[in-house]
Amino acid sequence: MEKGERENVYKVYDIIASWFFKSRDTSLFEKSYLDDVISHLPADATFLDLGCGTGMPILKYFIDKKFNVTGVDASNQMLEIAKSNFPQIEFISQDMRMLNLNRKFNAIIAWHSFFHLPPSDQPAMFQRFEEHLKPDGILLFTSGVFFGEVWSVNGGEKLFHGSLDSGEYENLLKKHHFRVLKHKKNDPDCRDATVWMAKYIGGSALY
């Protein structure tokens, strides 16, 4: 596997975009977490779907709830499908590691996207999260449980996944002024996803 495919997984998604769109489970097994995010936000909340892929099913869920949603992905092929699915929505082609939108959102969703970054690239993302969230905004992301790197096969192509350990995520969230609201490891009701939900509380006391 070439180094670039480890460091730039979006290039693999450019190859498997059509397969992914047809194969991605759209049964909304993530729904309980999405609803939990919504419960912490105002009725006119803005969402940033970071690593939005084709927009199915998560971005669509927030659109159906009448929220203002922006999608960001580094895979242009995935975004082409997303734009076809939701022509009324703003989509931005950008590597999340370079995220610089000069605006803030009520929520950032990085579901099964953030964990495609090499572990060495993940700590800097928490500054990006902080810069793009309004006070009391919610961050939802998935990770591994332990520090490490693994490969899976999707659509006949190898996909890289990386993770820090749980303690380091906790430290990064605290350093960047987040309060952990929920941390569920290998949730059996959510296809064994390890899920983090945190509130951005700015420079105020953490507890």
Sign of torsion over alpha carbons 90, 127, 46, 164: positive
Average pLDDT over residues 202-206: 52
Q: What domains are there in the chain, each with its CATH number? A: 3-200 (3.40.50.150)
The number of C-alpha atoms within 13 Å of 92 and in the hemisphere containing its C-beta is 15
Q: Is 192 exposed, middle or buried (0-12, 13-18, 19+ CB in 10 A)?
A: exposed
What confidence category does residue 5 fall into, taking pLDDT thresholds of 50, 70 and 90?
confident
pLDDT at 203: 52
- Condensed to tens digits (0 to 9), the pLDDT of residues 92-114 reads 999 999 999 999 999 999 999 99
- Condensed to tens digits (0 to 9), the pLDDT of residues 121-165 reads 999 999 999 999 999 999 999 999 999 999 999 999 999 999 999
Going through the chain in order, the beta strands assigned E by DSSP cover: 46-50, 68-73, 90-93, 105-110, 133-143, 148-154, 157-163, 178-187, 193-200
